[in-house]
Structure 1
Amino acid sequence: MTRILIAEDEERIASFVAKGLRAEGFETTAVTTGQEAISRVRAGDVHLLVLDLGLPDIDGFEVLNRLRAQGSTVPVIVLTARSSVTDTVTGLESGADDYMSKPFRFEELLARVRLRLRASGTPSGETSMLRHGTLQLDLRTRRIRSGDSEVDLSAREFALAETFLRHPGEVLSRERLLSEVWGYDFDPGSNVVDVYVRYLRRKVGAEHFDTVRGVGYRLADAGSCD
Structure 2
Amino acid sequence: MAKVLVVEDDAVIGTVLESALRAHGHEVLWCRDGRSALRTAPAELVLLDLGLPDVDGVQVCRRLRTAMPAAVLVILTARADEMDVVVGLESGADDYLTKPIRLAELLARVRAHLRRGAPAPPSAPIVTIGALEVDTARRRVALDGREVPLRAREFDLLARLAGQAGVAVSRETLMTDVWDAQWHGSTKTLDVHIAALRRKLAAAAGSPQDVPRIATLRGHGYRLEEA
TM-score (norm 1): 0.50
TM-score (norm 2): 0.49
Structure whose CA Rg is larger: 1
